[in-house]
Amino acid sequence: MNKIILITQPDHDFTTMFLSAWCNEVKVVADEKKDTTICLKSDRANKKELESIILRKKPHFILFNGHGDYDYVTGQNSEILIKADDNEHLLSGTVVYTIACRSAKVLGIKAIQKGTKAFIGYKEDFWFVYSRKNIKTPLLDNVAKIFFRCSNQFGKSLVKGSTVGEAFEMTKKAYKRAILEQVLSSSPESNSYLPLLIWDYTHLTLEGNSSTSL
Amino acid sequence: MDVQNNEDELKELIVARLSSLPEDREVSIGSEGAFSRDELIEAVRKGDSIGKKVIEVELNYLQSMKNITQDILSNE
């Protein structure tokens, strides 16, 4: 059955530019599966448009890229899109993945209480490294790739047909592989990447029903 | 005095690790922004809010390295 996948892609600063560029890997998988992908890019990543699309299209999977805090995720220009005790009920019936700082810690739990099937995200800040020379070409950044190859695993696996729990475990494995690669690397800069990868790995969390799928 | 010495040693360990970052790299810390190697080193030495975040990440790394290594090796 054709699934509906909603992706927010703000791009108002370097962090969101890299997040939004790299999440196209998930869109590619969805396109191959002939799912319907709705991308809210740049200024379209706003609260009004997000709420309208959720109500009209009833997406199966929502992937939020952006900034966040313990109880909200943001879109373009850091406008709050979904906030706990405000509109998290809109996520009811969906699987949600947020590549945004901290939102899994409070918003994730509140969303599950209001009917979200599963909420996957990071309980603390999401860290990654990039090279300034690739600001205009984020997808060519092999340093950012180390981090996004891990964080993108969840969306790719879920869209391919894995359950939430299976996709989550695959993401954890992707992090472990990346960590092992950096441990075994002879490159001095791997010393800087390791603590950040371990931080992201440690704080990736799943709330809700792990046996559900799209 | 011992606690202060330990903190100073930890900071220098972190600075040494950060120094391995090439100059063109920036580290994204979500809503806090993105920081260059030199900005992070200064933040750690000053002990400001960003510096404290970097220290927290380092402590998490040191504490978890043993468990993660055992986990990875047992799954190989």
Phi-psi map region of A144: left, alpha, beta (phi>0 left; psi -120 to 50 alpha): alpha
**Chain B residues within an 8 Å CB radius of A178:** none
- Average per-residue pLDDT for chain A: 96
- Asked if residue A105 lies in contact with residue A126, where contact means CB atoms within 8 angstroms, the answer is no
Low-confidence ranges of chain A (pLDDT < 70): none
List pLDDT tens digits, range A32-51: 999 999 999 999 999 999 99
**C-alpha distance from A180 to closest chain B C-alpha (Å):** 8
Q: What does the alpha-carbon distance between residue B9 and residue B1 come to, in Å, rounded to a whole number? A: 12
Q: Does residue B27 have a pLDDT over 80?
A: yes
Note whether B17 contacts A202, CB cutoff 8 Å: no
Question: pTM of the full predicted structure?
Answer: 0.94
Give me A1's structure tokens. Answer: 């059955």
A77 → chain B, closest CA residue = B31
Note whether A128 contacts B72, CB cutoff 8 Å: no
Does A145 lie at the interface with B, CB-CB under 8 angstroms? no
For residue B35, the cross-strand partners are B27
- A vs B, Cβ pairs < 8 A, gives 92
